Structure 1
Amino acid sequence: MRPVLHGDVSSAARVLLRVPRTARAAVCNKMIDEAEAADSHVRRFGTLHPLFGNGSLMSSARKRILADEPGFDDLDYCACFELVLRCLTSFHLSRRRS
Structure 2
Amino acid sequence: MRPVLPADVAAAGCALLALPARKRPGAMLEMLHRAEAADRYRLALGRAHPHWGNGSLASVAMALPRAAEPFLNDPDYVDCMMTVFAALKARNDRRAGVSRLRN
TM-score (norm 1): 0.95
Q: CA deviation at 1:19?
A: 0.7
Aligned length: 98
Unaligned runs of 5+ in 1: none
Q: Bigger radius of gyration, 1 or 2?
A: 2
1:48 corresponds to 2:48: yes
Listed as ranges, the matches of 1:15-94 within 5 Å are: 15-94=15-94
> Counterpart of 2:73 in structure 1: which amino acid?
D
> Counterpart of 1:89 in structure 2: which amino acid?
K
Unaligned runs of 5+ in 2: 99-103
Q: CA RMSD in A?
A: 0.8
Q: Which residue of 1 aligns with 2:8?
A: 8
TM-score (norm 2): 0.91
Greater mean alpha carbon deviation, residues 88-97 or residues 12-21: 88-97
Deviations 1:51-94 (A, max 9, x none): 11000000000111110110011011011011101001111211
Inter-partner Cα distance in structure 1 for 2:38 and 2:83:
22
Aligned residues with identical type, % of pairs = 39
